[in-house]
Chains A and B, each alone.
Chain A
Amino acid sequence: MNDESVYDGLLGGDSSQWAFGTDFEDPLAGVDTTVPAGIDATELAVYCLMLGDDTLVLSQRLSEWCSRAPELEEDIALANFALDLLGQARLLLARAAAADPSIVPPLPEGSPVPAEDALAYFREAGQFRNVRMAEVPNGDFAHVVVRLLLFSIARLAVLQRLRGSADAVLAAVAAKGVKELAYHRDWAGRWFVTLALGTDESRRRLLTALEQLWPLHDELFTAHPIEKSLAAAVDPGEVRAEADAVLDQVLAVAEVERPEPIGTRGRTGRDGLHTEALSLMLAEMQVVARAHPMGLW
């Protein structure tokens, strides 16, 4: 095989691989996925679904921006973030399935669909555990900036602590994610300031997006009982102060007042309660996989 051509691998060999690098691999191949002593395997799996669904759903929303951003550079940036979050989702869903295989939706016997894909493509909206901030439909460019800023500030704070998780797999996923969330957050922070201090129109759009997304901000820090009880988890409520401090820094530079707090009541995305938008998004995302449960991609 010629080392200089990445396409040579397509010729000959395994005929089940129909395009470059599209065959499945287990993102945790060879990783010790034993659940540590004292950790409830089902709770760990559900916690991994919570974090993994956040990144899967937000990744899907970000990838909807592909070819639609105002500039090519920002289009690539958003696709990059979507890819990072999708990579994190794969690891987290694979970790969930390895911790407790009973959470994986059953597929026809002999289906080649791996567990991470069964979780992504064969669950209903009510089985998704993501925060609703991740699922609301895209708006304008200010909307994606505000959503990414609010989400990445909160997620970075959680991942920083999760690096010390009692579950070594989660700790490793978090350590990698910290590096990625750091530049997602900085990109969103820069655009937040740019739009806030730009033209009257850019500021108006930014403030509108902030007002639209703010009611979902509190949920980012509202702990589900598992996030409190699981020793391997991070209670998002405990990182709220440091996340608030970062947001306040951005707001101060952008000369934007922090909106009045809006609390979260009742069931949340973590319990499987979602907006209608998630069902519509999943219908599109899952339709091909569901039509071909025996498909080999």
Chain B
Amino acid sequence: MTVLERAAAVAAEVRDPEMPMLTLADLGVLRDVRVEGDVVVASITPTYSGCPAMATMRDDLVHRLTDAGFARVEVRVVLEPAWSSDWITEHGRAALRDAGLSPPGPAPTVGGPIPLLLGPTRRVLTCPLCGSDRTERVSEFGSTACKALYRCTDCREPFDHVKEI
């Protein structure tokens, strides 16, 4: 295994602090890992402009790579292109479901005029707990910026839905 492969493997296993069932790679936040001389450079992109988990993600990357024997680690921010929930991998979507969260549907397309939506956001979701498709929205804004709160009208359990963006 080359140094780069080893560094990339360590970085890919670092987890999201808010949704620890997801690795940063599953979430699509880890954009690149490279070795520049004797420095491991990991690039991450914020999910939302104000995502408070960014500092923790950076620290976790530094700590995990340092613990794995890489003496010099640098974490860079990549702003462009902006993160999209479409970047959550299939593996990540399965991990969300296994943990009782509903993964996002396709993100709205960007570019062109943005239509004003005066009706409620409608989604057809599957309850990640019992599999029923009879769900209702409790709140479009949930425990973190990236989640909405839903409830299953069959098993009556509430669940988080990761929003499309």
Which residues from chain A sit less than 8 Å from chain B, CB to CB?
Answer: 1, 3-6, 9, 13, 17, 20-31, 72-73, 76-77, 79-80, 83-88, 90-91, 156, 160, 168-169, 171-173, 175-180, 182-183, 185-187, 189-190, 193, 242, 246, 249-250, 253
> Is B76 interfacial (CB 8 A cutoff)?
yes
Q: How far is the CB of B33 from chain A (nearest CB, A)?
A: 13
Interface centre among B17, B78, B110, B116 (most CB of A within 10 A): B116
Q: Which residue from B20, B43, B54, B118 sits with its C-beta under 8 Å from A30? A: B43
Q: Are A172 and B49 in contact (CB under 8 A)?
A: no
Given the known interface contacts A3-B15, A77-B141, the answer about A27 and B77 at a Cβ–Cβ threshold of 8 Å is yes
Question: B80 within 8 Å of A by Cβ?
Answer: yes
Residue of B46, B52, B145 touching A21 (CB-CB under 8 A) = B52
CB contacts under 8 Å to A, within B73-107, are 74-83
**What is the chain B residue whose CB lies nearest that of A174?**
B82
Known: A180-B49, A189-B116, A253-B118. A6 touches B79 (CB 8 A): no
Given A13-B63, A23-B59, A186 contacting B79 (CB threshold 8 A):
no
Task: Return 22 A-B CB contacts under 8 Å, by A number.
Answer: A9-B56, A9-B59, A21-B52, A21-B55, A21-B56, A28-B79, A30-B75, A30-B76, A73-B139, A76-B142, A87-B48, A88-B49, A88-B50, A173-B79, A175-B81, A176-B48, A176-B82, A186-B118, A193-B118, A246-B116, A249-B116, A250-B116
B5 at interface, CB cutoff 8 A: no
Taking CB atoms, residues of chain B closer than 8 Å to A160 are: 113-114
**Are B54 and A25 in contact (CB-based, < 8 A)?**
yes
Contacts A80-B145, A83-B52, A193-B118 given; does A31 touch B15 at CB 8 Å: no
Question: Is residue B138 contacting chain A, with contact meaning CB distance below 8 A?
Answer: yes
Size of the B side of the interface (Cβ < 8 Å), in residues, is 48
The verdict on B124 contacting chain A, using a C-beta distance below 8 Å, is no
With A156-B114, A246-B116: A169-B52 Cβ-Cβ less than 8 Å? no
From residue A171, how far is it (CB to closest CB) to chain B in Å? 7
What residues of B have a CB within 8 angstroms of the CB of A3 in the complex?
Answer: 13, 15, 20
Determine the chain B residues whose CB is within 8 A of the CB of A85 once the complex forms: 50
* Contact with A6, one of B50, B56, B64 (Cβ below 8 angstroms): B56
Q: Is the CB of A84 within 8 A of B116?
A: no
Q: Is B9 an interface residue (CB 8 A)?
A: no
Q: Are B110 and A9 neighbours in the complex by a CB distance under 8 Å?
A: no
| Identity of the chain A residue whose Cβ is nearest the Cβ of B112 in the assembled complex | A160
Q: Cα distance A186–B117 when bound, in Å? A: 6
What distance in Å separates the Cβ of A186 from its nearest Cβ neighbour in chain B? 5
Q: Is A28 a contact partner of B20 (Cβ separation < 8 A)?
A: no
> Chain A contacts of B43 at CB under 8 A?
30
Overall SS of chain A's interface: helix
CB contacts (< 8 Å) of B56 on chain A: these are 6, 9, 20-21
The contact string, 1 if C-beta is below 8 Å from chain A, for chain B 110-126, is 10011011111000000
CA distance A193 to B138 in the complex (A): 20
User: Cβ of B50 and Cβ of A29 under 8 Å apart?
Assistant: no
Q: Whole-angstrom distance between the alpha carbons of A156 and B59 in the complex?
A: 33
**Cβ-defined contact, A178 with B77, below 8 A:** no
* Residues A83 and B48 in contact, CB atoms below 8 Å apart: yes
Contact of A175 among B78, B82, B139, B141 (CB under 8 A): B82
Residue of A nearest to B114 (CB): A182
Confirm or deny: B60 has a beta carbon within 8 angstroms of a beta carbon on chain A: yes
Which of A17, A83, A172, A176 counts the most chain B CB atoms within 10 A? A176
Cα separation A249 to B97 with both chains bound (whole Å): 39
| In-complex Cβ contact of A172 among B20, B80, B138 (8 A) | B80
Whether a CB of chain A sits under 8 angstroms from the CB of B154 is: no
Query: Given A84-B48, A171-B80, do A1 and B145 touch, yes or no (CB 8 Å)?
Result: no
On chain A, the residues within 8 Å of B20 by CB distance are 3-6
A186 and B165 CA atoms in complex are apart in Å by 14
Contacts of A179 in B (CB 8 A): 82, 110, 165
Are the C-beta atoms of A90 and B55 separated by less than 8 Å? no
